[in-house]
C-alpha cells in the first residue's frame, strides 16, 4: 500500500493548492515520490549522459510548485489530448540533494490507483526546461548562443569534451519551467520513484514551502481542434495558422531570436486579421493555400533540424497538420526515452544555431 494518510497538514496544503475549501479529499489517493535528485541521470541522449542537476535547480522547482500545482500524466502524454490523472501539489528539498513531492490521483482512475498501490507502477519522471547546460570541464553552455546543432546532437563541446566520457558531463542550471510529472515505466533520474509509507517524509513532517518562479509561454497544440472531421473553415484556418506559428517559433535561432520573433508575431497578427475577413469562397481558398505553403516550408525545416531525411511530406492537409504537430513535439528535447540522431547542422560553411528555449527535457 503506497497511499499515505491525509493528515491535517497535508489536507491544509492540498486545499491551499487547489483553492477550494470544499474539495472532497476522500476522493483522492495521495502519494509521495522523489521527483528528481542531484544524482547523474541515466539517459542515452548524447548531451545528457550522466548529467547533473544542481541543488539550486531543485529549489527552483520547489519554488515554482509553491505557486501553482502541476498536472500528473502517464508517460508524458501531454500531446495526446488526455486530461491529467491528478496533480502534484507540494514539495520540499531534502538534505540538499532530493526533491520530494506530494501528488494525488483521482480515485475515479481505479486501475491506476491499484497499479501504484501494488508497486506495479513505482517510478516517475519530470518534464523540465533548464536555461543552461554547461560542461563540467570547461563551462561551455550547450544551450547558449554559441552552441550549434552539431554540439547539441554530438554532445561534444568546442574543446573536444564528449559528454558521458572520461568524466565529462553537463551541469543543468537555472530552471526555466517545470511542465508536468508523469508515471512512467522507467524514469531518467536514478531513484525517482514513489515512496512507501515507511519511507514517507510528509506523513509525519511539517509541510512548508514557498517562493517565486518565472513564467514561461509554452507551445501547446490541441490535436482535437486540428483533426476533427467536418470542421468549419475558420476553425481550420485558426488551427493551421497556430501550427505554422508554433513551428516557426520552435525553430528561431538564438543569434537573431528577438528579431525573428518580432517578425513572426507580425506575421501571425497579419494572418489573424485575414482570418476574420476570410470568406468560404475564393478568399478562404487563397488564404488556406498561403498558409499551407508556409506550413509545408516549416515542416521541411523541422525535418532537417531533427535529422529526418526519410519522411515524405504529405500533400493532404490533415496529414500535413498532423506531421507538423509531431515535429513540434520532436523539436522539444525528450530525455524520458527518445534518442536523438545527428542532423546536418551546416548550410554551406555556416553552422546553424538553435533557440534551445524551444526544447524541454524529461528526466
Residue of 137 and 284 predicted with greater confidence:
137
pLDDT at residue 66, as a whole number = 94
pLDDT at 281 over 70: no
pLDDT at residue 288, as a whole number = 65
pLDDT at residue 105, as a whole number = 97
pLDDT tens per residue, range 1-24: 899 999 989 999 999 998 888 888
If pLDDT is split at 50, 70 and 90, which confidence band does 228 have?
very low
For the residues 127-156, what does the mean pLDDT come to? 92
pLDDT at 213 over 80: no
pLDDT at residue 217, as a whole number = 21
pLDDT tens per residue, range 177-208: 999 999 999 888 888 899 887 777 766 543 33
Residue of 234 and 83 predicted with greater confidence:
83
- Cβ-based neighbour number of residue 265 at 10 Å: 12
pLDDT at residue 140, as a whole number = 96
Domain with CATH 3.20.16 in the chain: 8-199
> With a threshold of 0.85, does the pTM exceed it?
no
pLDDT tens per residue, range 41-70: 988 888 888 999 999 999 999 999 999 999
Residue of 144 and 336 predicted with greater confidence:
144
Spatial separation of the C-alpha atoms in residues 162 and 137, rounded to whole Å: 10
Task: Classify domain 8-199 by CATH architecture.
Answer: Alpha-Beta Barrel (3.20)
pLDDT at residue 138, as a whole number = 96
pLDDT at residue 275, as a whole number = 54
Q: Are 363 and 41 in contact (CB under 8 A)?
A: yes
For the residues 81-105, what does the mean pLDDT come to? 94
- The dihedral through the CA atoms of 332, 336, 338, 344 has a sign that is positive
Q: What is the dihedral of CA 193, 199, 202, 205, to 10 degrees?
A: -150
pLDDT at 35 over 80: yes
pLDDT at 223 over 60: no
**Mean per-residue pLDDT of the chain:** 74
pLDDT at 37 over 50: yes
Question: Can you tell me whether residue 133 is helix, strand or coil?
Answer: strand
Q: Are 172 and 362 in contact (CB under 8 A)?
A: no
DSSP-assigned letter for residue 314: P
pLDDT at 356 over 70: no
Share of the chain above pLDDT 90, in %: 38
pLDDT tens per residue, range 312-346: 777 666 666 766 666 555 554 433 333 333 334 34
Amino acid at each position: 500500500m503506497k497511499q499515505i494518510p491525509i493528515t491535517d497538514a497535508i489536507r491544509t496544503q492540498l486545499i491551499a493548492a487547489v483553492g477550494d475549501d470544499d474539495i472532497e479529499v476522500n476522493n483522492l489517493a495521495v502519494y509521495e515520490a522523489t521527483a528528481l535528485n542531484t544524482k547523474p541521470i541515466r539517459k542515452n541522449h548524447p548531451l545528457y549522459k550522466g548529467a547533473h542537476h544542481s541543488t539550486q535547480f531543485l529549489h527552483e522547482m520547489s519554488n515554482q510548485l509553491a505557486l501553482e500545482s502541476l498536472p500528473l500524466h502517464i508517460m508524458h502524454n501531454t500531446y495526446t489530448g488526455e486530461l491529467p490523472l491528478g496533480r502534484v501539489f507540494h514539495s520540499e528539498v531534502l538534505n540538499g540533494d532530493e526533491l520530494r513531492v506530494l501528488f494525488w490521483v483521482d480515485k475515479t482512475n481505479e486501475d491506476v490507483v491499484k497499479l501504484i498501490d501494488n508497486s506495479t507502477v513505482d517510478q516517475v519522471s519530470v518534464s523540465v526546461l533548464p536555461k543552461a547546460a554547461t560542461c563540467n570541464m570547461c563551462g561551455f553552455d550547450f544551450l547558449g548562443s554559441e552552441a550549434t546543432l552539431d554540439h547539441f546532437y554530438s554532445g561534444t563541446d568546442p574543446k573536444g569534451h564528449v559528454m558521458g566520457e572520461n568524466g565529462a558531463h553537463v551541469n543543468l542550471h537555472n530552471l526555466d519551467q517545470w511542465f508536468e510529472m508523469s508515471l512512467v515505466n522507467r524514469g531518467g533520474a536514478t531513484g525517482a520513484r514513489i515512496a512507501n509509507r515507511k519511507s514517507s517524509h510528509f506523513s509525519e513532517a511539517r509541510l512548508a514551502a514557498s517562493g517565486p518562479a518565472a513564467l514561461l509561454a509554452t507551445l501547446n497544440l490541441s490535436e482535437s481542434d486540428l483533426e476533427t472531421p467536418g470542421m468549419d473553415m475558420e476553425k481550420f484556418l485558426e488551427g493551421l495558422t497556430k501550427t505554422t506559428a508554433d513551428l516557426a517559433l520552435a525553430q528561431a535561432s538564438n543569434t537573431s531570436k528577438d528579431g525573428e520573433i518580432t517578425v513572426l508575431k507580425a506575421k501571425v497578427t497579419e494572418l489573424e486579421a485575414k482570418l476574420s475577413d476570410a470568406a468560404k469562397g475564393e478568399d478562404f481558398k487563397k488564404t488556406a493555400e498561403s498558409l499551407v505553403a508556409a506550413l509545408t516550408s516549416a515542416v521541411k525545416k523541422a525535418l532537417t533540424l531533427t535529422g529526418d531525411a526519410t519522411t515524405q511530406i504529405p500533400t493532404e492537409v490533415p496529414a500535413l497538420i498532423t506531421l507538423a504537430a509531431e515535429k513540434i513535439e520532436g523539436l522539444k528535447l525528450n530525455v524520458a526515452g527518445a534518442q536523438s540522431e545527428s542532423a546536418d547542422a551546416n548550410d554551406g560553411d555556416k553552422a546553424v544555431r538553435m533557440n534551445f528555449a524551444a526544447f524541454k527535457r524529461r528526466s
